[in-house]
Amino acid sequence: MTVLRLVALREPEAFADWYRLGADYVLDVAGGLDLTVGDGGDLHDLRGRVDDAAAALARGETALDPASARTVAAVLLGDAAYSEPFCEWMPLWYELLLLPGSRYAGWRLRRVARRVAADSGLDHVSSPRYSRPSDVLVRGRPAVAFVDGFAAQFRFAAAITHLEWFLHAAPAFDVRVPADLAARAREETVRRYALGESLSPRVREFQRLLFGDDEWVRAIDEAYGLDSVLFDRWERILRRERERLEATRTD
């Protein structure tokens, strides 16, 4: 039922809540890290833009101002490309179960994103390239080889892919992520979830905020009336990791 409800989404107005929730996630992480917004903007201004863009989508409008259209395209294209690489980090049975519906839902997301981009006069929008297990090595072996158990694999997959999702989406909102922070976050995240090494305080806070996507999962479930056992399982794993990272914070 969950997959059927998601793939049934067709028109741009059906994705207004999807966009708004993804955009709120970007701004919540950016605000928690106190990241800089370019050209003298601030997060309050961005939230107003997000509200206006979501309201326009809900009315079925696809010709937005270019700055807003870029954020819509970034969120929807980031989500469209997310599921397939995520599934590759997981057990084969999980990949086989989720992949067909995920691919179709991703096609729907791309279709709406590209329509908004075209109608808004954007010449180019890009999809992110997420890491696959073969891309991420630890001690010369795929990092996932060091991880046992479904929940541990899910945490590792989430830690890698939601970091890459954020690094893809943030520039569309003109949120500046320092290059050294992005590089350290990736390196430390891999070694933490593969080898159990500690995160530096700044990277731990980054991941704590990123693991706030448990709230995104719950909100999507509620907004689209999914009542999904699978989403409930995802939410619990993400929330527990966020709470664990919260418990290890230092002043």
What is the pLDDT of the chain when averaged over all its residues?
92
Beta bridge partners of residue 176, listed in sequence order: 36
- Long-range contacts formed by 38-47: CB under 8 A, 24+ apart: 38/174, 38/175, 38/176, 39/174, 41/174, 46/173, 46/174, 46/175
* pTM strictly above 0.75: yes
User: What's the confidence (pLDDT) of residue 8?
Assistant: 54
Per-residue pLDDT tens over the stretch 95-151: 888 888 888 889 999 999 999 999 999 999 999 999 999 999 999 999 999 999 999
Per-residue pLDDT tens over the stretch 216-246: 999 999 998 888 888 999 999 999 999 999 9
Tracing tokens 């090494």 back to the chain, one arrives at: 197
Q: How many residues in total does the chain contain?
A: 251
Q: Which residues, at least 6 apart from 23, have a Cβ–Cβ distance to it below 8 Å?
A: 50, 53, 54, 71, 75, 173
SS3 sequence of 143-182 = HHHHCCCHHHHHHHHHHHHHHHHHHHHHHHHCEECCHHHH
